[in-house]
A and B are shown apart, each in its own frame.
Chain A
Amino acid sequence: MNKTRLQLMLCGGTGCDSTGSEKVRIALLQEIEKHGLSEEVQIIVTGCNGFCAVGPVMVVQPEGIFYQKIQPEDAKELVDSHFLKGTPIQRLMYKNPANKKIIPKMDDIPFFSSQVFRAMRNKGLIDPEVIDEYIARDGYFAAAKALNEMSPDDIIKEMLESGLRGRGGAGFPAGMKWRFAKEAQGDVKYVLCNADEGDPGAFMDRSILESDPHSVIEGMIIAAKAINAHKGYIYCRSEYPLAVKRLNIAIEQAKNYGLLGEDILGSGFEFDVEVYQGAGAFVCGEETALMRSIEGKRGMPIPRPPFPAHKGLWKKPTILNNVETLANVPQIILNGGKWYASVGTATSKGTKVFALSGDVCNIGLVEVPMGTTIRKLVYDIGGGVPDKRKFKAVQLGGPSGGCVPEQYLDTPIDYEEITKVGAIMGSGGAIVMDNTTCMVDMARYFMDFIQDESCGKCTPCREGTKRILTLLENMCKGKGQPGDIEQLEELCEVVKHSSLCGLGQTASNPVLSTLKYFRDEYEAHIFDKTCPAKTCPALVKFEVDPNKCKMCGLCFKGCPADAIQWEKKAVAVIDKTKCIKCMSCYDRCKFDAIM
């Protein structure tokens, strides 16, 4: 494709962009030009590399050297020492936290070496704004094959054989959904891509769209052929401006190459895609609400049946698939369903992308084979919990999901197995929590979210979630009453069983799962008026324990309200009349002396 000697794959994803990768790019470019290396050394700005925790990151190809936390000032040394003299800079390499050994190559770093890249196969390897780079990695070969050599039934057969299940959360087999839509009567049909990514702690789909938008478009072309649709929409959150921009560029380029539009690749097949931006409503991720939203209405769910495969967008047969689901499709068509199914468990095939975050060392985007244990995800790839704190739970599935505590860490990543322990696979949000996270407060957090996002159509969802939230808020404020837990459980059951859409039906999960594993924390809030994790300000006394205070004065220095008296070699004292309960002293104290 090009004859450069070195390619600098500099991450331009959201994480690295905000830690300054653009400045690094400019500095590198200047140094490269200054040394007359422009022909030999090429900078390629990629989408998220995955290892956001140590950004800005850059991989030097073909050597595969991984650099982290690069600053503009490092550009000179990089060019002088590495690109000219061939001596890579150790200072900027990854160090194994366990033994402080330097690991120069990306593939040897544990964070990457346990991963298997399928949906993210091109991440960090191509410039997402250049279609030729996608094509050079076999891009659009699958579309060509599907359009010219395969019948709709052939495509659906491969999809069924692959065992690919929807990655948007519900896990419905993609091939089956396509078959229903194919069999539905009608000359106008639609293919939709769900890029609404509502889980408020997840960014898998965003990264795929930003780093490899063509893979999703190609997946949609194949889906269109399978059901005989000629129009598609990608429903993307408006909070993702970069994803929208890259999708639009990708669509434009695909049109220019004859990969979208009339008579694609001479096959006689016609298909067009448009990006539709959402406007900030979680419920619009639900399929029927999403379709109402594209129609320009308030995004409220409607009862099913009729299912979208028969009556969807504008009442026409429609399929809706998640971004990650679609990004897997081209490889299934190219390599066969059997190949895809060769990885995974009995009922969950292939790989799953997770956005690993929270109290974990290696925050970032990871893709693992189904069947990998959650322990491996959190410890081997995630590097465990930082600051010598203790692991408490990992939350999967966001506001519709639940938490997996220590004792179930060996659960394999598998739709059914995860459900058994009270969580859900979800769309891929995985938030690690340490012992400073209060589980009652977490349940309150998710209920606050749900309550805010309920569209209000069903009374149990609208009113029930409000009442659940009030109960949880009271507990966090120290106003919990005996009997509250039972009332919570009852309300949760009602909301679960009498709501119309998935939002209401799953809204109770975060409460029920924390109740199941951390009932003692609820009880402590209600009966002892204490918060064991010490995160609910109303339940912290804001007193200094003289036995634990080491007289360091850290709390004093950070108090914004002048509420702490402290002198050298004296125990700190908090003036409660001045204290604004900001928790700063609590966070700063290294000796756990604030009660």
Chain B
Amino acid sequence: MKNSIRPKHPDITSEMWDTIDEIIAKWKNTPGSVITVLRECQDVVRYLPSELLHYISYGMGLPLSQVFGVATFYSFFSLTPKGRHTIKVCTGTACYVKGIKETINRIYGKYNLKEGGTTEDRRFSLEGVRCLGACGLAPVMVVNKDVHGAVSADKVVQILEKYE
């Protein structure tokens, strides 16, 4: 698409827009591909600002209601910005039985951060995910791509302090 119709957005650089155009071009003619497009665009920008959803709707030739409907239905998509580090706490049954709730409470106590939220300084975002397939290490937390096992409430802050 032409550069001139790209909306301005502080979190989307022009290289990102180029990639987004490529994604749209690749999937435009595949029926049912909107979820894939949203995922790939989110990989680029790290979240889906509403300007981007408008752009995707226009680019894919899909009603805005369908694009927004899909983006809000699936928990994988985030319409708000993410922190520099993403903390994923496993809220699967095994981790719950092994005490992830206390770990989450401790994170809240220290960083005033709740599930689905981002700290004001955009240092951390916290997400709850279901079973990461590492129940043997429960309770499990993933920071960016690092898996941490047996994260008791007592250990969690110490681990997180390493992420600036």
Chain A residues within CB distance 8 Å of chain B: 13-15, 17-19, 52-53, 55, 197-203, 206-207, 238-240, 276-282, 293-299, 314, 355, 357-359, 363-364, 395, 398, 429, 431, 433, 437, 442, 445, 449, 455, 558, 560, 580, 582-584, 587
> Whole-angstrom distance between the alpha carbons of A15 and B93 in the complex?
16
Interface residues of B in 62-107 (CB under 8 A from A): 66, 69-70, 73-77, 91-94, 96-99, 102, 105-106
B149 contacts A203, CB within 8 Å? Answer: no
Shortest distance from the beta carbon of B126 to any chain A beta carbon, whole Å: 16
Point out the residue from A53, A279, A296, A395 that lies within 8 Å of B93, measured CB to CB. Answer: A395
Q: Which residues of B contact A200 (CB under 8 A)?
A: 91-93, 130-131
B35 contacts A293, C-beta separation under 8 Å: yes
Minimum CB distance partner of A203 in chain B: B133
CB proximity of A507 to chain B, nearest CB, Å: 15
Which residue of chain B has the shortest Cβ distance to A300 in the bound complex? B73
Q: List 18 A-B contacts (CB under 8 A).
A: A13-B133, A15-B133, A55-B136, A199-B93, A203-B134, A279-B77, A280-B74, A294-B32, A295-B31, A296-B32, A355-B135, A357-B135, A364-B136, A398-B93, A442-B97, A455-B73, A560-B106, A584-B153
Contact A359 B75, beta carbon cutoff 8 Å: no
Q: What are the interface flags for B35-73 relative to A under an 8 Å C-beta threshold, 1 for contact and 0 otherwise?
A: 110110000000000000000000000000010011001
Question: Which of B31, B33, B69, B94 is packed against the most chain A CB atoms within 10 Å?
Answer: B94
Asked whether B32 lies within 8 Å of A18 as measured between CB atoms, the reply is no
Query: With a CB–CB cut-off of 8 A, which chain A residues contact B131?
Result: 197, 199-203
A133: shortest Cβ distance to chain B, in Å? 22
Interface contact B70-A431, CB-CB below 8 Å: no
Interface status of B23 (Cβ within 8 A of chain A) = no
CB-based contact A429/B93 at 8 Å: yes
* Residues from chain B with Cβ under 8 Å of A198 in the complex: 130
Partner of A240, one of B74, B133, B135, B140: B133
Is B74 in contact with A296, judged by CB distance below 8 angstroms?
no
**B132 CB, nearest partner CB in chain A, Å:** 7
Q: B113 at the A/B interface (Cβ < 8 Å)?
A: no
Asked if B109 contacts A580 (CB within 8 A), the reply is: yes
**Shortest CB distance A66–B (Å):** 16
Q: Is the CB of B12 closer than 8 A to any CB of chain A?
A: no
B20 adjacent to chain A (CB < 8 Å):
no
> Smallest Cβ distance from B109 to chain A, in angstroms?
6
Known contacts A202-B131, A278-B76, A560-B106; 17 further A-B pairs (Cβ under 8 A)? A200-B92, A200-B93, A203-B131, A203-B134, A238-B76, A279-B35, A279-B74, A281-B74, A281-B75, A297-B70, A298-B69, A357-B93, A358-B93, A363-B136, A442-B97, A582-B109, A587-B99
| B73 pairs with A281, CB closer than 8 A | yes
Report if B164 contacts A (CB, 8 A). no
Tell me which residues from 106 to 141 in chain B have a Cβ below 8 Å from any Cβ of chain A.
Answer: 106, 109, 129-138, 140
In the assembled complex, the Cα of A206 lies from the Cα of B34 at a distance in Å of 25
Our pick among B66, B136, B148 for the contact of A15 (Cβ within 8 Å) is B136
Q: Are B102 and A357 in contact (CB under 8 A)?
A: no
**With contacts A295-B32, A298-B69 known, is A582 near B102, CB below 8 A?**
yes
Nearest-neighbor residue (CB-CB) of A445 within chain B:
B96
Contacts of B73 in A (CB 8 A): 281, 298-299, 455
Q: Which A residues touch B75, using CB under 8 A?
A: 279-281
- Bound CA–CA A197/B32 (angstroms): 21
- The CA of A240 and the CA of B99, in the complex, are separated in Å by 23
**Chain A nearest CB, measured from B67 CB (Å):** 10
Which of A14, A437, A449, A584 is close to B102, meaning CB atoms less than 8 Å apart? A584
Cβ of B15 under 8 Å from chain A: no
Q: Which residues of B contact A582 (CB under 8 A)?
A: 102, 105-106, 109, 153
How many whole Å from B113's CB to the nearest CB in chain A? 15
Q: With the chains together, A13 CA to B152 CA distance in Å? A: 23
Query: Does chain A have a CB within 8 A of B161?
Result: no
Q: Is the CB of B39 within 8 A of A238?
A: yes
Which residues on the B side are within 8 Å of A298 (C-beta)? Answer: 69-70, 73
Assess the B137–A15 pair: CB atoms within 8 A: yes
Shortest Cβ gap from B122 to chain A (Å): 22
- Distance (whole angstroms) from the CB of B90 to the closest CB of chain A: 9
A201-B135, A298-B70, A558-B154 known; A18-B149 Cβ under 8 A: yes
Chain A positions within 8 Å of B134 at CB level: 14-15, 18, 52, 203
Question: Which of B35, B94, B148 meets A201, CB within 8 Å?
Answer: B94
Q: Please give me the residue from chain B that is nearest to A13 by CB atom.
A: B133
Closest to B90 in A: A200
Task: Point out the residue from A363, A398, A445 that lies within 8 Å of B135, measured CB to CB.
Answer: A363
Once the chains bind, are A279 and B39 in contact (CB under 8 Å)? yes
Check B147–A17 contact: CB distance below 8 A. Answer: yes
Most buried by A among B74, B109, B134: B134
The answer for the CA separation of A95 and B130 in the assembled complex, in Å, is: 32
How many angstroms from the CA of A521 to the CA of B90 in the assembled complex? 27
**Contact across chains for A437 and B109 when beta carbons are under 8 A apart:** no
> Nearest-CB distance from B76 to chain A (Å)?
4
Complex Cα gap A333–B46 (Å): 46
Give the CA-CA distance A19 to B154 in the complex, in Å.
20
Cα(A201)–Cα(B129), bound, Å: 11
A296–B31 touching, CB < 8 Å: yes
Q: Within the assembled complex, what's the spacing in Å between the Cα atoms of A560 and B69?
A: 43
A433 touches B153 (CB 8 A): no
Residue in chain B with minimal CB distance to A292: B32
Q: Is the pair A203, B135 in contact by a Cβ cutoff of 8 Å? A: yes
B97 partner, pick from A19, A55, A431, beta carbons under 8 A: A431
Residue of A nearest to B106 (CB): A582
Q: Which residue of B lies closest to A299 (CB)?
A: B73
- The residues of B that contact A281 with a CB separation of less than 8 Å are 73-75
| Contact across chains for A52 and B91 when beta carbons are under 8 A apart | no
A355→B70 CA distance, assembly (Å) = 32
Instruction: Please state if A358 and B76 are interface contacts (CB–CB under 8 Å).
Output: no
In the complex, what distance in Å separates the CA atom of A240 from the CA atom of B133? 9
B8 to chain A, nearest CB (A): 27
A431 touching B137, Cβ below 8 Å: no
When C-beta atoms are compared, the residue in chain B nearest to A207 turns out to be B133
Q: Decide yes or no: A277 and B39 within 8 Å by CB, A17-B147, A239-B132 being known contacts.
A: yes
Note all chain B residues with C-beta closer than 8 A to A314.
Answer: 31
A347 to B130, CA, bound (A): 32
Find chain B residues with CB under 8 A from A359 CB. 97-98
Q: Point out the residues of chain B lying under 8 angstroms from A455, CB to CB.
A: 73
A506 to B100, CA, bound (A): 25
Q: How far is the CA of A580 from the CA of B132 in the complex (A)?
A: 29
Report, nearest first, the 4 A-B pairs whose CB atoms are least far apart. A201-B93, A52-B136, A18-B147, A279-B74
Kindly report which residue of chain A lies nearest to residue B157, judged by CB atoms.
Answer: A560
User: B97 and A437: CB pair below 8 A?
Assistant: yes
Min C-beta distance of B70 to chain A, whole Å: 6
List the B side residues contacting A197 at CB < 8 Å: 131
